[in-house]
Amino acid sequence: MICLVGFMGAGKSSALVELAAHGLSTADIDRLVETSEGLPVAEIFSTRGEEAFRAAEEREILAALGTGELDAIALGGGSLGSEAVREALSSSDHTVVWIDVDSETAWRRVRASTRPLAQDRDAFEALHAERQASYRAVADVVLPAVTHRVWDRALSSVRLLDRLPEGTRMLWASSRNGEYPVFVGRGLLGSPVFDQEAGVMPGDGRSFLFTDEDVGPIYGAGVGETEASVTVPPGEGAKTMAEFERSQRELTRLGMTRSDLLIALGGGVVGDLAGFCAHTYQRGVPVVQVPTTLVSQVDSSYGGKTGVDLPEGKNYVGAFHLPSAVIADVDTLATLPDAELTAGLAEVVKTALLAGGQLWEEVRNLEPGEILGRSDLIFDCARYKCRVVEADERDTGLRAVLNLGHTVGHAIEAVTGYGRYRHGEAIALGLLAALRLSDADELRAEVHDWQERHGLPVRLDPAVNIEAVLLATGFDKKKTARGVGFVLLPEPGQPEFDCPVPDDRLRAAVEELIR
């Protein structure tokens, strides 16, 4: 059974209407309570009190879940306060779908109503913040509240969860130029998600595998039936125009056509390069991202940025090309070299710092080595990234926040020829510089210790030329006509972008890294 949860104003009732149009039998728990109590919800609240309403609500939910006669129900925004309800929802028989609405949209939608808990704006916002954690805890699926008729496209992916390994979570990513399902879980390679009839793989053409020499032999067989494959050398060195051209010509020789599909299996390098090839091959073919590194599972495979490096600068040539789906099998992290896993933690801590709130609380308390068992955190990082992309797909504003730590980090990578530091390692150093520039001294100290504990660098190799790093910072492609705009983070969850930083402060923050 599909169980819709979410805050008031999320649009659960309209979702039920959409689902009914797809032939599902549906019920709104509020309506069931009104029928059984013989009173409108607002009146139950005012005459008998919230507690009486909650008791009736719990009874109706448990009955609906127990009989299993319905295909979909919508639960009231506060119903997860009941432990019995939470318990019943956790059964694998149900797919819990969280329709995630931001508090502003929710308020706009309900402020004129008679809903008892929507009378005061401040109280409403506090309640919204308070309930997020309970929705997150039970959700198998997260859908955006503002995407028009999303069930027309998302229903088959939601239903597919019944056939995927237990614990798989799904997120519907949506932004201006497209939308796609994101699956995060264990055992997804080799699962029905890759079957043509499951509907996740776009179109009905053939699949061509794009991977690297390390990943292909281990996981290549898990992506379903493929026609042929293109393999590039492992590592950043493959993100070049030369490798781009070689791969395109290879695809031509293999006979790929515009109705076929590319599957990018590997880390961020494969994802960026394959995505760019997909964008340009015969003016564009779909790409499905199957990320196998921590960096790519929490960050790089979402949002459609693709491209290659030039000797003059990282990611200098590229394009936006949204994936048609992202399938992140966290089991693949088990074979990832330790150093790569560690480097990926830099993107995890970056995301948690940007998101603030519960994600930051969980990540700051993460133990070394623990990430392998925490697909929930990987999912939350993906969710944060997709939310930012939803607001600003083409990187003209808010998306810049994702570059926290990247201005100095990219400069370090460039100056050291992309060989001395892994991307994540350079970002770890960049984060420390960014936090210093943000005057977030305590937070910098905490992140410093966290990175040290998890094996990330906190000190720049003294052999690295500081002047060159400072110079390279000015060449960061985020540079605008007004100069280098930095992302600053005075506190977790409060990023600011496009902030000018005086040269001497930048120098001090970078010099501090070699001390």
Is 393 among the residues that bind ligand NAD (CB under 6 A)?
A: no
Any contact of residue 323 with ligand NAD (CB under 6 A)?
no
Q: Does 331 bind ligand NAD (CB under 6 A)?
A: no
Choice from 41, 269, 285, 355 touching ligand NAD (CB under 6 A): 269
Number of H helices, E strands in the chain: 20, 16
* Alpha-helical runs (H) found in 255-368: 268-280, 294-295, 338-355, 357-364
Q: Could you tell me which residues come within 8 angstroms of residue 156 by beta carbon, excluding any fewer than 6 positions away?
A: 198, 199, 200
Return the number of the residue (79 or 332) whose C-beta is nearest ligand NAD. Answer: 332
Closer to ligand NAD by CB, 58 or 309: give it: 309
Q: By rule CB under 6 A, what count of residues binds ligand NAD?
A: 29
Q: Which is nearer to ligand NAD, 53 or 244 (CB)?
A: 244
Stretch that binds ligand NAD, among 51-59, 240-248, 331-339, 497-505 (CB under 6 A): 331-339
Helix axes 503-514, 466-473, angle to 10 degrees: 140
Under the binding rule (CB under 6 A), the answer on residue 476 touching ligand NAD is no
CA 137 → CA 6, 72, 159, 344, distances in Å? 12, 19, 20, 24
Q: In sequence order, what DSSP letters do the residues of 7-69 get, joined into one string?
A: -TTS-HHHHHHHHHHTT--EEEHHHHHHHHHTS-HHHIIIII-HHHHHHHHHHHHHHHHHH--
The kind and range of the H/E element at 83 are helix 83-89
CB 53 within 8 A of CB 32: no
Region from 80-88, 249-257, 299-307, 502-510 binding ligand NAD, contact rule CB under 6 A: 299-307
186 vs 239 by CB, closer to ligand NAD: 239
Query: Alpha-carbon distance 350 to 427, whole Å?
Result: 9
Among 58-66, 241-249, 335-343, 467-475, the segment contacting ligand NAD (CB under 6 A): 335-343
Q: Does 267 bind ligand NAD (CB under 6 A)?
A: yes
Which residue number, 190 or 235, has a Cβ lying nearer to ligand NAD?
Answer: 235
Query: Judged by CB, which is closer to ligand NAD: 292, or 375?
Result: 292
Nearest residue to 194 via CA among 216, 221, 218: 221
**Which candidate, 88, 111, 78, places its Cα nearest to that of 12?**
78
Give the residue, chosen from 139, 295, 431, 506, that forms a contact with ligand NAD under the rule CB under 6 A. 295
Q: If binding is defined by CB under 6 A, does position 236 make contact with ligand NAD?
A: yes
Q: Using the structure block, give the residue that is written with the tokens 């949204």.
A: 322
In 183-211, which positions are buried (b, 16+ CB within 10 angstroms) versus exposed (e)?
Answer: bbbbebbebebbeeebbbbeeebbbbbbb
Q: Does 174 bind ligand NAD (CB under 6 A)?
A: no
Residues 405-434 that bind ligand NAD (CB under 6 A): 423
Could you say whether residue 268 binds ligand NAD (CB under 6 A)? yes
Site string for ligand NAD, 204-223 (x = CB under 6 A): --------x-xx--x-----
Kindly list the residues in this chain that would bind ligand NAD in the complex (CB under 6 A).
212, 214-215, 218, 234-236, 239, 266-270, 272, 292-293, 295-296, 299-300, 303, 305, 315, 332, 335-336, 340, 343, 423
